[in-house]
């Protein structure tokens, strides 16, 4: 699983070095995977191993009834989306539109989200958490069944 978070930096060309623990897990589980990098709202990047992204696509393909949320999801993830491979130095390129929208320059925070990674501008993430201003309660945890 991808768990925890790491503070790292985007280089001047928009490349992100995948944290060593995440890289190790991904290689053990998927070999040397390609990635689909996208966003739902332009505030952060989501980096999916292609195998995980294909599972999402297959679930969407089985939905035959018209669903406006499906169209919105596909519109947004296609707008920001791009296939990428890890280079020889363990870096992955995040496309320019998404880097600009999510302010992915300088220090960034990479979060493990079970089967994909999220990349946030480190400062912006703190602002979002403060703005959210809703604590995670015991009832919230209980609703997860854990």
User: pLDDT of 20-76, one tens digit each?
Assistant: 999 999 999 998 889 999 999 999 999 999 999 999 999 999 988 888 899 999 999
Domains and CATH numbers, the chain: 5-143 (3.40.1550.20)
DSSP bridge pairs for 10: 16
Q: Which residue has the tokens 């363990």?
A: 90
pLDDT band at 3; cut points 50, 70, 90: very high
* Coil/strand/helix, residue 114: strand
Q: What end-to-end distance do the CA atoms of the chain give, in Å?
A: 16
Residue 133: both structure tokens together = 């201003």
Sign, CA torsion 136/140/142/146: negative
Q: Which residue has the tokens 């995040």?
A: 94
User: pLDDT of 97-120, one tens digit each?
Assistant: 999 999 999 999 999 999 999 999
Residue 121: both structure tokens together = 């501008």
How far is residue 79's CA from residue 67's CA, in Å, rounded to a whole number?
19
CA atoms within 13 A on the CB side of 70: 12
Instruction: Identify the DSSP state of 46.
Output: E
What pTM was computed for the model? 0.89
pLDDT band at 130; cut points 50, 70, 90: low
């Amino acid at each position: 699983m991808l768990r925890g978070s790491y503070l790292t930096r985007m280089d001047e060309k928009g490349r992100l070095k995948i944290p060593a623990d995440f890289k190790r897990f991904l290689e053990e589980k998927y070999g040397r995977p390609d990635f689909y990098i996208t966003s739902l709202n332009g505030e952060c990047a989501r980096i999916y191993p292609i195998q995980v992204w294909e599972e999402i696509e297959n679930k969407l393909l089985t939905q035959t009834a018209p669903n406006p949320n499906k169209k919105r999801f596909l519109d947004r993830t296609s707008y920001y989306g791009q296939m990428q491979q890890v280079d020889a130095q363990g870096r992955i390129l995040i496309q320019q539109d998404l880097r600009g929208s999510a302010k992915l320059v300088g220090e960034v925070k990479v979060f493990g989200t079970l089967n994909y990674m999220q990349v946030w501008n480190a400062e912006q993430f703190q602002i979002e958490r403060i703005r959210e201003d809703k604590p995670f309660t015991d009832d919230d945890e209980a609703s997860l069944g854990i």
